[in-house]
Amino acid sequence: MKKLFLSTAASCIAFAAQADVTVMSWGGTYGAAQLEAHLKPFTAKTGIRTTMVDTDNAAAPIRAMVEAGNVTVDVASIELADAIRLCDEGILESIDATTLPDGSDGTPASDDFFPGAVTDCAVGTDLWANIIAFDTTKFEGEKPSQAADFFDTVKFPGKRGLKKNPKAVLELALMADGVPAAEVYSNLATSEGQGRAFSKLDTIKQDIIWWEAGAQPPQLLADGEVLMTTAYNGRIFNASIDEGKPFEIIWDGQVYELNTYAIPKGATNLEEAMEFVRFATSTEGLAEQARYISYGPPRHSSNALEIIYKDGKTVMGPHLPSSPENRRNALETSVDFWVDHDTELNERFNNWLIAN
């Protein structure tokens, strides 16, 4: 029999040819977190063997498998927006939300999951956020603490790092200008609201250093090229906790997105895949994943637990975008809004970039 080559992390569980459940995930730290939190405990509890395969984004290969009638993956970790689109296209199996386990405190799953975290074909596994971060050693007196401070170059003079993309940038601009999170998208859907967001960006345009890759913001801070920067919360957590960098996150105005588990249409091991999804998205399963990566569980009951990082000492609550304290002025990215406005806002953003 031809030898199968698997990632080192996954090979400790099972060979793909023997696996009862094959999970496709993102690789790297994220894939390792799901391996430790979901695949290994699931196998230990049920005896159902599992393996993990890595990809940059499962949406495209899952579609290709289903369209070719050769589905070799049972569960896929995909972004919520992709899950909704693939579900509409008939690429994913339906998931009966009534079969999801109640919270550990007895709360029905329908009330325990965050709004929007469970769809017709997917169940939320974690949420990550676009946040603001700064180097604490650059401030002798008052430190920035809210989204508005990012745009206040009089009180906090210095360069700002900002992602070169309108998504999460325009939303932040409006919240920094005083628009409540709940009203951001209704404002941004209007020409007046869009103008307000771009006008707010105008106030710091000459002070912006643009970034495009997630590894750039921590490096910009470490090199002292910017005073503050937007960033992915997980990148700042790793730099702070794992590398000892003196970075701090401003959670006010965070814009978060959801990742999910979904099952490709025609999955060979459908029953076992459904069992895996129910196990992984339980209160304990979601909390366990947060022990390995600073992405928050989309269940209230999970966030009520004390979660300790894999280092055995760091309490994760203050570092999770899902923690109640960090969601006081948080905004979930609207998939529907960006489907409707992506083209026009990207065009306007690119024109604004080159304008004087």
The pLDDT tens digits of the residues spanning 259-307 come to: 999 999 999 999 999 999 999 999 999 999 999 999 999 999 999 999 9
Give Cβ neighbours of residue 178 (< 8 Å, ≥ 6 apart).
148
Among 251, 247, 236, CA closest to 138 = 247
User: What is the rounded CA–CA span in Å between residue 63 and residue 86?
Assistant: 8
- At 346 the three-state DSSP class reads helix
Could you please state the CATH topology (level 3) that the domain comprising 8-121+263-322 is classified under: D-Maltodextrin-Binding Protein; domain 2 (3.40.190)
Given a contact cutoff of 8 angstroms between Cβ atoms, the answer to whether 331 and 175 are in contact is yes
pLDDT of residue 5: 32
Q: How many CB atoms lie within 10 A of CB 226?
A: 24
For domain 129-257+331-354, the question of CATH label 3.40.50.300 is answered with: no
CATH 3.40.190.10 boundaries in the chain: 8-121+263-322, 129-257+331-354
- Report the relative pairing of strands 208-211 and 247-262 from DSSP bridges: unpaired
pLDDT in tens, 144-186: 999 999 999 999 999 999 999 999 999 999 999 999 999 999 9
Query: Would you state the pLDDT for residue 17?
Result: 42
Bridge partners (DSSP) of residue 256 are 129, 332
Residue 25: exposure state from Cβ atoms within 10 A (0-12, 13-18, ≥19): buried
Which residues have CB under 8 Å from 182's CB, separation 6+?
Answer: none
Nearest to 275 by CA among 39, 7, 103, 73: 39
Q: Which amino acid is at 284?
A: E
β-partners of residue 255 are 130, 331
In what helix (H) or strand (E) does residue 184 lie, and over which residues does it extend? helix 184-188
- pLDDT for the residue numbered 18: 54
Q: Would you call 106 exposed, middle or buried from its count of C-beta atoms within 10 A (0-12, 13-18, 19+)?
A: exposed
Return the percent helix, strand and coil in the chain, to nearest 5.
45, 20, 35
Distance (Å, whole) CA 19 – CA 134: 45
The stretches in the chain having pLDDT less than 50 are: 1-17
Listed residue (253, 256, 255, 216) closest to 236, CA to CA: 216
Give the per-residue pLDDT at 19: 60
- Residue in 353, 350, 345 with CA at minimum distance from that of residue 187: 345
CA distance 8 to 28: 11
